[in-house]
Amino acid sequence: MTLTELNRMWARPLALIGLGLAVCVSGTVVLADEDSSLRYTATVRAIQAAEPAVVNIEGNKPSNPSAIDSQQVNGMGAGVIIDPRGYILTNQHVVQDVGRIEVTLHDGSKYIGRLIARDPETDLALVQITAAKTQFPVIRFGTSSDLVRGERVIAIGNPFGYHHTVTEGIVSALHRDIPVNGSQNYPDLIQTDASINPGNSGGPLLNADGDMIGINAAVRIGAQGIGFAIPVDKATEIAADMIAQHRRGSFESPISVTTTYSSGRPRVEVLRASGSQLQRGDVIRAVGKRTIKTRLDYELALLDQSAGADVTLELERSGTVVTSSLALESRSSTKAQLASTTSIQEQVYRGLGLKLELADAAKVTQQNTSYKGGMRVTSVRSNSPAYTAQIQSGDILVGLLEWQTPNWEDLAWIMNKNEIKSGSPKFHIMRGSDVFWGTMDINSTSVR
């Protein structure tokens, strides 16, 4: 071998060092250690940690849902897996009016998703995919409570159908209130200059550590570098509401909880603990073997439980860690008694201002598979809580507080909750094929 050939042999591998390769003494080219390579920046590691839990969502939807013969168009967006059982959080507008929700994971595997619940008011929805003996990867949650302008953020999504596109930018502003289409308003959004385009909706906005701090939701039409995301703390609360709505029906938890934040650290505190060993102010650290950081964790932990079960909880009380149990109460024993001793029709009319009749459960479920049935509104009393909340005759009451209202027995049980007798109970009504959420302002003396 000539000297020139030797020089060429050594020159080639040496020129590749800048591409992340290294050369050992013998001249053999080997891959550089990821831990030492300059290519594996914090951004790269953040993306690699998060993207297995990011999904692409596609499906056909009518271009004009109200038209009799509407042309079908391709809809697309993204979502994040929030539980190993396949629960996915996304934007409501991504899956609205989609007949077949096609979900593609990062590894290319494909599933058909089922719409579990949705909240048009916040434009969030819950979808589930299932597979035998499969535990899906889960997004790592951060918090939006301590965001600062200028910190680095990363968006992952499905813009224009380009799966798992990643972009980087900064937090441009916080607490933006954005009107979208004249009827939809997004309050308290994160503004970012990370490129967000149609199809990014429902995907995560990550911080520099790869923790999700927002759900990408909207762009400013005609502008560049102006995108918006729903803060993750708000998104997890709405997701917790939807999980609670999905799981409740056969049992009742005797406590209510809330997520609080201190220095960017979430914890779950007990608000109400009637009929249990727990106390107001207890901090729930674990349910069974599941670590609890937010109310969403708590609701997911109860998802597969059943009436009569005793759940073990690890608590922090006045700085001391204690173990307690939580009995999940059966509702069946009280339903018949409540229905027979109380004229529920009169109670609903007196307290809410509604006259109701039982709706066809099959038709309700056909319109929206999340609901088991409902109560049709036949009249609304003027100046009543329902009237002020703009509920109309023909609407179907499908939920009140955090529970569904498929029949008189369930409605009787709900109407005897303390939360109905005072405060501003949340309601769900179906109007045509749409479901609307709102609150009713109730005088403490209205319901007896």
> Which residues are designated catalytic?
93, 123, 201
Which 3 state secondary structure label does DSSP give 100? coil
Helix axes 408-415, 332-341, angle to 10 degrees: 90
d(CA 126, CA 347): 33
Residue 245 tokens read as: 């709505």
d(CA 270, CA 298): 11
The CA R_g of the chain, rounded to the nearest whole Å, is 26
Burial (CB < 10 A; 0-12, 13-18, 19+), residue 55, is buried
d(CA 275, CA 154): 45
d(CA 311, CA 73): 47
d(CA 200, CA 196): 6
The torsion region of residue 150 among left (phi > 0), alpha (psi -120 to 50) and beta comes to left
Would strands 185-192 and 72-83 be described as parallel, antiparallel, or unpaired?
Answer: unpaired
d(CA 167, CA 193): 9
Residue pair 435/428 in contact (Cβ under 8 Å)? The answer is yes
The torsion region of residue 102 among left (phi > 0), alpha (psi -120 to 50) and beta comes to beta
Which amino acid belongs to residue 143? T
Q: Where are the beta strands (DSSP E) in 99-148?
A: 101-104, 110-119, 124-128
Nearest Cα neighbor of 244 from 253, 233, 234, 235 is 253
C-alpha torsion sign, points 44, 48, 54, 59? positive
Q: What are the helix (H) ranges across 213-301?
A: 232-247, 295-301
d(CA 195, CA 175): 19
Give the largest CA-CA distance in the chain.
104
Nearest Cα neighbor of 105 from 126, 124, 88 is 88
Return the number of other C-beta atoms located less than 10 Å from residue 243's C-beta. 26
